[in-house]
A and B are shown apart, each in its own frame.
Chain A
Amino acid sequence: MTDHTLAMFVLPEELAIDTGVARKVVAAFIRGQLRQAGFERAVLGLSGGIDSGLVAYLVAEAIGAERLLCVLMPYRTSSPASRADAEEVVRRLGCASELVDISPMVDGYFGADGVAGAGGPEALEAPALRRGNLMARIRMAVLYDRSVTWRGLVVGTGNKTESLIGYTTLFGDSACAFNPIGDLYKSQVRQLAVAIGVPEAIIRKAPSADLWPGQTDESEAGFSYPELDRLLFWRIDKRRSIDEVVAKGFDRAMVERVDRMVAGAEFKRQVPPIAKLGPRTAGVDYLYPRRRPGSARS
């Protein structure tokens, strides 16, 4: 564990990255993605959490805060503290922001106060998971609409840990034009957030999807991020077998459970398969880079 970050969070030493190099790579990546697509601006959903907070700082560093729009999209039960944290990021960066209350859209489908919505009476009883998924997809739809009005690309804010274990909503929070932090574990997100100056309160607080009051990622998943990040790093990046990570001290039951989560989420990380029928099929034997001469918006 490294000393300089101990104060705010635990950073397993094998996960420590060179944040100077990371910032250079990510800044060039963001500029490259925008240029190749013919865009000069970016838009992202700012929740008040560390992932979207870090991405806002990274985008501002890459292209300037004046080209960034942060959209705050609380639901009526969302934590007021989250909104305050998001507003603090906007204030410190000096970027544009908009507030879109998604409550009417969510309630319009699930219903509210015993009155059924577009989803019918059954939807009134929808569990938190269903509600959370729709919220994520509505936020996605709002961001893609703002992408048009702001003339900016939607920047993804999901990290590697949540992507690997599938703690994301397909076509919801995972939807984006490009993602600068999708190859960083949560611990590395924290390390980079410290380096770039994300407000300390955001770095210190327990990560949460904020689907219900008091919810935290770690209590829901049953293990801590440093522990999970280390396990994923050794299993995936360093190709260690189950026996080898158990020998390193990981609990076998946890290892097997995480393995199942990773395998079960494979579909969320890939483009849906197309039935192969014609001579050339996108993604199979019609393979082009996403951007090439002529593909940038003019």
Chain B
Amino acid sequence: MQPLRIALAQLAPRLGDLEANLARHGALLGEARAGGAGLVVFPELGLTGYLLQDLAAEVSMRLDDPRLASLAAETAVLSAVVSFVEESADHRLFIAAALLEDGELRHVHRKVHLPTYGLFDERRFFAPGDMLRAVPSRLGVGVGLAVCEDFWHLSTPQLLALDGAQILVNVSSSPGRDLAATNEVGLGTAASWRTLMRTYAQLTTSFVVFCNRVGVDESFSFWGGSEVIGPTGALVAGAPLFEEGLFYADVDLADVRRERITLPLLRDERPELVAREWRRLIAERAGLAADATAEAGAVDGFDVAADVQRAGGGRG
């Protein structure tokens, strides 16, 4: 039995108010510690709010920012994941998630996938991260950090699990939308995320910890619904939708071993095959290699001939 109490800090950050949010994080860390938590997870951009636009540069912090060090100082015998705008030495702005442990900043993940479509405009204001790394933690298992949209790409949970993560942490600012009555729990966004998280937990035989914010930025209402999913894909504990609070999940980390012995999916992954096929696809899409499986008439990198040839019209 390796018991761990995880605290999901499903809070509503104040948009652009770094000082208020820092204070709130500090208070919740204390509360979670008193509640027996060993890991406390805060949502994406919990220290700044989400819809920053040009405010991003005004609330950014360098990794050596004393305010970040003060927050880290509150993690003695505790692990915490916090998220903020990181400014690099060359003045790029990243959406960052940091693992704070035993008073130190252990690891920083820079959001790799920045949605810039539909209601999102992240790439306009932020630079994408270039690395995905699992890191060892004081919890005795590897931890993999991801931010929101990172989990809408299959490779993210897979790479983190193969790199040694047994706990996959996704911190999010997911705006709720699609209230069609046919949706599970009445919210399309929640239904999609629940499907993803259960699938990833099962396929990576890892714990998935999802912390999503609540509250309102402009038109967006963030839906919360933070969850912890076990390595069998079953829900351990979930927070309510739209309600602010600190919610706990008790897990047994030994479940990872049990599931990986029972279902050795990770053992049977074929990274060398995946890498080889990715390299082939990359070369074909760049026009650097002939596409052996393409139809006649297909442009470099596209397996199928263009619609215009097939249908005699349409997209030109």
| A22 and B179 form a contact (CB under 8 A) | yes
Interface flag for A291 (CB, 8 Å): yes
A292, B51: Cα distance in complex, Å: 10
A17, B186: Cα distance in complex, Å: 7
| A21 and B216 form a contact (CB under 8 A) | no
| B215 and A17 form a contact (CB under 8 A) | no
| A18 and B187 form a contact (CB under 8 A) | yes
Q: B1-34, CB under 8 A of A: which get 1 and which 0?
A: 0000000000000111100000000000000000
| A18 and B16 form a contact (CB under 8 A) | no
Point out the residues of chain B lying under 8 angstroms from A291, CB to CB: 15
Point out the residue from A17, A32, A292 that lies within 8 Å of B179, measured CB to CB: A17
Closest to B222 in A: A28
| B241 and A24 form a contact (CB under 8 A) | yes
| A32 and B216 form a contact (CB under 8 A) | yes
Shortest Cβ gap from B137 to chain A (Å):
34
Point out the residues of chain B lying under 8 angstroms from A114, CB to CB: none
Q: How large is the interface on B (under 10, 10 to 19, 20 to 34, 35 or more residues)?
A: 20 to 34
Q: B176-219, CB under 8 A of A: which get 1 and which 0?
A: 10011111011100000000000000000000000000111110
Question: Given A25-B176, A289-B52, A293-B16, A32 and B215 touching (CB < 8 A)?
Answer: yes
| B176 and A292 form a contact (CB under 8 A) | no
Closest to A30 in B: B216
Interface flag for A247 (CB, 8 Å): no
Question: Given A24-B241, A289-B218, A290-B218, A18 and B181 touching (CB < 8 A)?
Answer: yes
Point out the residues of chain A lying under 8 angstroms from B215, CB to CB: 28, 32
| A18 and B242 form a contact (CB under 8 A) | no
| A289 and B183 form a contact (CB under 8 A) | no
| A288 and B241 form a contact (CB under 8 A) | no
Interface flag for B54 (CB, 8 Å): yes
Closest to A179 in B: B219
Question: Given A24-B241, A28-B242, A289 and B55 touching (CB < 8 A)?
Answer: yes
| A21 and B187 form a contact (CB under 8 A) | yes
Point out the residue from B52, B216, B218 that lies within 8 Å of A28, measured CB to CB: B216
Interface flag for A214 (CB, 8 Å): no
Interface flag for B158 (CB, 8 Å): no
- Max chain A Cβ within 10 angstroms of own Cβ: one of B185, B215, B218: B218
Point out the residues of chain B lying under 8 angstroms from A25, CB to CB: 176, 179, 221, 242
Interface flag for A29 (CB, 8 Å): yes
Chain A, range 94-111, C-beta contacts under 8 Å to B: none
Residues of A within 8 A of B (CB): 14, 16-18, 20-22, 24-25, 28-29, 31-33, 36, 286-293
Q: List 27 A-B contacts (CB under 8 A).
A: A16-B182, A17-B179, A17-B181, A18-B179, A18-B180, A21-B176, A21-B179, A21-B187, A21-B241, A25-B176, A28-B216, A32-B216, A32-B221, A33-B216, A36-B15, A36-B216, A286-B54, A287-B54, A288-B53, A289-B15, A289-B16, A289-B52, A289-B53, A289-B217, A291-B15, A292-B15, A292-B17
Question: Can you list the 5 inter-chain pairs with the closest CB atoms, starting with the nearest?
Answer: A18-B186, A32-B216, A21-B186, A16-B181, A17-B179
Task: Please give 8 more A-B residue pairs, beta carbons under 8 A apart, in addition to A289-B51, A292-B17.
Answer: A17-B179, A21-B185, A25-B242, A28-B216, A36-B15, A36-B216, A287-B53, A288-B54
